């Protein structure tokens, strides 16, 4: 399966903001529109489009270490409701982890999620993330040590 993480630019940003999760998942993640706006004002935020072949299927945004943030964080990961349950999120997450690991100065990746998001919890744990025991802004914080 060919999954790619590609730059969001003038040619695809409107498609990215039109991606949606199922209604019952809306409370789990900020909108892609909000995330793209955030990335323009917080330059440590790096948004990427998730493509399966030439088809846009999702969105991810990670944060690089900076004056504002000490470690790498995965702030957003979403797969459009029409493409969920096909393994795209897991593959995209692994590719993002591999991308972050190229920076040899760091050995941790953090992420957080709503406690009621059981699907995300299961996927993150299968990918090696473990709970830090912390809760920030109502979300459980997990870390991947490598």
pLDDT over 90 percentage in the chain? 95
Least Cα distance to 53 among 3, 94, 125 occurs for 3
Sign of the C-alpha dihedral computed for residues 116, 119, 123 and 125 taken in this order: positive
Strands 108-113, 72-79: pairing is parallel
Digit-coded pLDDT (tens) for 109-140: 999 999 999 999 999 999 999 999 999 999 99
Sign of the C-alpha dihedral computed for residues 12, 16, 18 and 22 taken in this order: positive
Instruction: Count CB-CB contacts under 10 A for residue 86.
Output: 13
Least Cα distance to 96 among 138, 58, 54 occurs for 58
pLDDT of 69 above 90 = no
| Cα gap 142→130, rounded to integer Å | 5
At 83, the pLDDT band (50, 70, 90 cuts) reads: very high
* Model pLDDT, residue 29: 93
pTM for this predicted structure: 0.93
Q: List, in order of start, the domains of the chain with CATH numbers.
A: 3-145 (3.40.630.30)
> Which residue intervals of the chain are DSSP H helices?
13-17, 32-41, 88-101, 118-126
Instruction: Count CB-CB contacts under 10 A for residue 80.
Output: 21
């Amino acid at each position: 399966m060919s999954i790619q993480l590609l730059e969001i630019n003038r040619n695809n940003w409107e498609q990215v903001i039109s991606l949606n999760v199922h209604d019952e998942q809306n409370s789990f993640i900020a909108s892609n529109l909000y995330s793209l706006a955030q990335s323009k004002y917080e330059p440590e935020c790096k948004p990427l489009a998730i493509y399966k072949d030439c088809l846009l299927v999702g969105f991810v945004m990670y944060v690089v270490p900076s004056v504002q943030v000490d470690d790498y964080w995965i702030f957003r990961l979403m797969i459009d409701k029409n493409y969920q349950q096909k393994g795209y999120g897991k593959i995209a997450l692994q590719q993002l982890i591999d991308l972050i690991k190229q920076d040899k100065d760091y050995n941790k990746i953090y992420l957080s999620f709503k406690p009621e998001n059981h699907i995300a919890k299961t996927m993150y744990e299968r990918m090696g993330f473990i709970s830090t025991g912390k809760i920030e802004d109502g979300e459980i914080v997990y870390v991947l040590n490598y």
